[in-house]
């Protein structure tokens, strides 16, 4: 039995995680942390009835009192790095789904986990279909180097581009470099009638244009559109419900303790 603390337990993803843990025999929720719903029963907040785990507002207190083996974090971008480092400092392996980590943040987590001898895990997307989309995109990029990414999320998502889109674009860029192929150069006199109309494109995105849509009605969707002479290829993944992320979250929670020391990035590392 692996004992679990959930950070962000009262949020939309956190509540879904609490529900998923209640259905998983080898994972046991022992602590729930959130700035909202403090003092409420985590199971009741998640809509599954009381489970005896009250939502606290102190991650440090929860670690001291319950001593979980892992922490699943779906909190807010401003807290995710400090949460991860606090978990590692307490000998707890973080499974990070919260967004907002920079490359430097990832390096800090990797270094801290390495020093403490702790495995840590982060995934920009826990939907298995989204991971497959990224893998297929890498394959396609070796033959169709001209590509743009459109990612669509709900209107409350605070970061853009999404972690999934950013990682997809970066891996496409890496695949093109490895294959020694380049996209068609845009016209020298290209004019954007509105700045950024062609999407964000820089070394950070692997020089792949990325467009971000934030609208009510979406959960998480992404299209990767490849173009070639006389043809296009579109790879699309849609998460229609946050339930789509739970098999990946459960898989990561079950496997994180057996991962190498340091930080492992991406659900594809677990799909073996």
Q: Which residues are catalytic?
A: 153, 157
Q: Which residues contact 82 (CB under 8 A, 6 or more apart)?
A: none
Coil vs helix vs strand at 208: coil
Question: To 10 degrees, what angle do helices 128-141 and 246-255 make?
Answer: 90
Q: Which residues contact 269 (CB under 8 A, 6 or more apart)?
A: 259
Q: For 203-260, give the DSSP string.
A: GGGTT--EEEEE-TT-SEEEEEEEEETTEEEEEEEEE-SGGGGHHHHHHHHHHGGGSP
**How far apart are the C-alpha atoms of 11 and 256, rounded to whole Å?**
23
CB 227 within 8 A of CB 1: no
**How far apart are the C-alpha atoms of 249 and 97, rounded to whole Å?**
8
CA distances from residue 203 to 139, 166, 213, 231 in whole angstroms, order as listed: 20, 11, 21, 27
């Amino acid at each position: 039995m692996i004992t679990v603390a959930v950070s962000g337990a009262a949020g939309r993803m956190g509540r879904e995680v609490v529900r998923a843990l209640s259905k998983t025999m080898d994972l046991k929720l022992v602590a729930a942390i959130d700035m909202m719903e403090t003092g409420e029963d985590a199971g009741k907040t998640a809509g599954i009835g009381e489970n005896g785990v009250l939502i606290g507002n102190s991650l440090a207190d929860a670690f001291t009192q319950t001593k979980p083996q892992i922490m699943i974090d779906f909190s807010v971008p401003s807290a995710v790095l400090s949460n991860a480092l606090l978990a590692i400092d307490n000998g707890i392996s973080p499974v990070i789904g919260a967004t907002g980590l920079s490359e430097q943040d990832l390096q800090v987590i990797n270094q801290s986990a390495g020093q403490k001898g702790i495995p840590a895990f982060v995934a920009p997307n826990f939907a298995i279909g989204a991971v497959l989309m990224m893998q297929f995109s890498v394959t396609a990029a070796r033959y169709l180097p001209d590509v743009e990414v459109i990612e669509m999320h709900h209107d409350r998502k605070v970061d853009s581009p999404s972690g999934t889109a950013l990682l997809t674009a970066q891996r496409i860029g890496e695949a093109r470099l490895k294959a020694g192929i380049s996209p068609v150069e845009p016209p020298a006199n290209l004019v954007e009638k509105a700045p950024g109309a062609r999407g964000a494109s820089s070394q950070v995105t692997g020089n792949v244009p990325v467009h971000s849509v934030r609208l009510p009605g979406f959960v998480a969707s992404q299209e990767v559109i490849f173009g070639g002479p006389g043809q296009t290829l579109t790879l699309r993944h849609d998460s229609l419900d946050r339930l789509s992320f739970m098999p990946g979250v459960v898989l990561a929670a079950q496997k994180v303790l057996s991962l190498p020391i340091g930080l492992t990035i991406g659900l594809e590392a677990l799909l073996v």
